[in-house]
Amino acid sequence: MSRLSIFHIRKTRVRIDVQTSTPGLSFADAWSGRVTMAYEGQEFYVVNRVHLIQLKRASGRDIDLQDAAILDTGGSKGPV
């Protein structure tokens, strides 16, 4: 069974969660479907919306399942 592994980076009010292992999605699939975003001129990559929903469902946590339902119905419009 895979485990979710995360470490957090905080600077002022910005929080970055870096997942080093994620059940429900391979790195190869996540990388091939990545989305490029930018913050204060710095580009970074995030999973796409479909993969984000998949990951949230795979976590099984109530909050993630609620997030997945909102994202799946088109809520929280954004680049991801």
CA atoms within 13 A on the CB side of 6: 8
Q: Dihedral, CA atoms, 76, 53, 13, 39, nearest 10 degrees?
A: -80
Sorting pLDDT into bands at 50, 70 and 90, what band is 1?
very low
- What pLDDT is stored for residue 20 in this prediction? 77
Q: Give pTM, 2 decimals.
A: 0.72
Please give the backbone phi and psi of residue 28, each rounded to the nearest 5 degrees, phi first: -60, -45
Tens of pLDDT, residue by residue over 7-36, are 556 666 767 777 777 888 998 999 999 999
For the stretch 47-79, pLDDT in tens is 999 999 999 999 889 999 999 999 998 876 666
CB atoms within 10 A of CB 35: 15
**Domain boundaries along the sequence of the chain:** 5-72
